[in-house]
């Protein structure tokens, strides 16, 4: 039974190898921009890297964009704390990259960390499988989009939960897959990292899949010029630091994940879609697309007419200032009768 009267904006499950490159970070920035406009809700954010630093980077972005949770002891009504960050717990946890270093080791002139986060040990993170499953259970049917930008192992484990496939089928409208090259092409490290999981995902995932291939990432890069000017409103910005650390500036960053997120939230008007078909994974990590009329997969195709607009949208949304979390309904209730407001669904900001 679904008791809410107003269907909220689409919920996004975001599972990525955050920190490996910069496009997943840019995609998260874009997603927070869409959240600020009320077009989407980031309901679950997990890293597929067994790296506390990757999870810490995700937490930096969450705190930067969504603001700190209420101070302990302060009245927050039924406001929820920020959802935890999911991370696999079975690796060595020590993964590090130049991007992660740049963000997490940056300090203020006083020697303090420039960006705060709350992840220092494994149990500061969430089991990604439970996190993703739990987030899905709180969504209206088919009001959830999953964006995968890394090895598929977390999603495969969600599929393997009792009732997992049925839950996904019911709640998820689409999987936006930022991996592979289409209709064929070079090996994508995100697929190669776990070929077996990618094969299972593409053969058993129970909803339509739309893939954003490397060719879309390369053909519609994130403009480096935006980094230098549009983010200047913040004296220190984790996206700027990450971007500058990934490659020597100036450069335009491949934006495969950014395309996947934009499509998941705004499916119309930015990209063309391939004919339906089936994506398969080769042992060396390359992908192949085979057209078939009843195939469950498609891939994004760059629309030359929209190229400039897409890149402009990337820059505009990713550089948007954070919007304070608020819920006017609750505040009005408090003002009226001083009573605690009604609760809202979990993980909803």
Per CB under 8 A, residues contacting other proteins are 1-4, 72-81, 84, 86, 89, 122-127, 129-131, 133-134, 137-140, 161-162, 340, 342-346
| SS3 label, residue 265 | helix
Residue 119 CB, shortest distance to other proteins, in Å, is 10
State which residue, 108 or 123, has the beta carbon closest to other proteins: 123
Q: Among residues 269, 44, 296, 35, which one has the least CA distance to residue 174? A: 296
d(CA 117, CA 100): 13
Contact yes or no for 270/309 (Cβ under 8 A)? yes
Residue 95 CB, shortest distance to other proteins, in Å, is 17
Q: Among residues 151, 62, 48, which one has the least CA distance to residue 347? A: 62
User: Where are the strands (E) in 206-312, listed by range?
Assistant: 209-211, 271-273, 277-281, 287-291, 297-302
State which residue, 186 or 331, has the beta carbon closest to other proteins: 331
State which residue, 305 or 339, has the beta carbon closest to other proteins: 339
State which residue, 130 or 236, has the beta carbon closest to other proteins: 130
C-alpha distances out from residue 283 to 48, 185, 187, 286, Å:
20, 14, 10, 7
Neighbour tally for 116: CB within 10 Å: 12
Residue 48 CB, shortest distance to other proteins, in Å, is 16
Neighbour tally for 16: CB within 10 Å: 30
State which residue, 134 or 187, has the beta carbon closest to other proteins: 134
Residue 1 CB, shortest distance to other proteins, in Å, is 6
Residue 133 CB, shortest distance to other proteins, in Å, is 7
Residue 207 CB, shortest distance to other proteins, in Å, is 19
Provide CB contacts within 8 A for 5, sequence distance 6+.
none
Pair of tokens at residue 335? 């003002």
Residue 11 CB, shortest distance to other proteins, in Å, is 11
d(CA 8, CA 327): 13
Q: Determine whether 339 is exposed, middle or buried from the number of CB atoms within 10 Å of its CB (0-12, 13-18, 19+).
A: exposed
The bridge status of strand 271-273 relative to strand 144-149 is unpaired
Q: Among residues 105, 16, 23, which one has the least CA distance to residue 60? A: 105
State which residue, 129 or 315, has the beta carbon closest to other proteins: 129
State which residue, 130 or 323, has the beta carbon closest to other proteins: 130
Q: Among residues 153, 143, 121, 137, which one has the least CA distance to residue 46? A: 153
State which residue, 83 or 238, has the beta carbon closest to other proteins: 83
Question: Which residues on neighbouring strands pair with residue 271, listed in sequence order?
Answer: 302
State which residue, 4 or 108, has the beta carbon closest to other proteins: 4
| SS3 label, residue 201 | helix
Residue 134 CB, shortest distance to other proteins, in Å, is 4
Residue 347 CB, shortest distance to other proteins, in Å, is 8
Q: Among residues 223, 212, 213, which one has the least CA distance to residue 253? A: 223
């Amino acid at each position: 039974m679904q008791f809410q009267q107003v269907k909220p904006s689409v919920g996004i499950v975001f599972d990525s190898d955050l920190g490996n490159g910069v496009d997943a970070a840019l995609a998260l920035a874009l997603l927070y921009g869409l959240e600020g406009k009320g077009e989407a809700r980031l309901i679950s954010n997990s890293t597929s890297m067994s790296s506390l630093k990757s999870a810490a980077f995700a937490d930096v972005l969450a705190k930067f964009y969504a603001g700190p949770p209420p101070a302990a002891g302060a009245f927050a009504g039924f406001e929820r704390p920020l959802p935890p960050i999911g991370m696999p717990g079975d690796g060595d946890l020590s993964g590090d990259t130049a991007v992660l270093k740049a963000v997490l080791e940056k300090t203020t002139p006083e020697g303090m960390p420039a960006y705060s986060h709350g992840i220092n040990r494994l149990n500061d993170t969430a089991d990604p499988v439970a996190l993703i499953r739990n987030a899905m259970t709180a969504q209206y049917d088919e009001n959830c989009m999953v964006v995968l930008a890394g090895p598929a192992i977390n999603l495969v484990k969600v599929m393997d939960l009792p009732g997992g496939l049925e839950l996904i089928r019911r709640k998820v409208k689409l999987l936006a897959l930022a991996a592979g090259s289409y209709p064929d092409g070079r090996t994508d490290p995100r697929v190669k990292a776990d070929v077996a999981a990618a094969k299972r995902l593409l053969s058993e995932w129970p909803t339509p899949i739309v893939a954003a291939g490397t060719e879309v990432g390369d053909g519609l890069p994130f403009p480096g010029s935006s980094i230098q000017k549009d983010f200047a409103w913040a004296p220190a910005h984790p996206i700027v630091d990450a971007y500058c650390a990934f490659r020597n500036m100036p450069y335009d960053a491949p934006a495969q994940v950014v395309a996947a997120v934009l499509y998941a939230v705004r499916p119309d008007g930015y990209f063309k879609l391939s004919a339906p078909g089936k994506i398969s994974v080769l042992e060396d990590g390359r992908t192949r697309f085979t057209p078939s009329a009843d195939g469950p997969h498609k891939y994004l195709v760059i629309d030359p007419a929209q190229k400039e607009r897409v890149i402009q949208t990337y820059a505009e949304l990713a550089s948007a200032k954070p919007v304070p979390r608020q819920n006017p309904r609750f505040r009005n209730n408090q003002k009226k009768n001083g009573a605690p407001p009604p609760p809202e669904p979990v993980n909803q900001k």
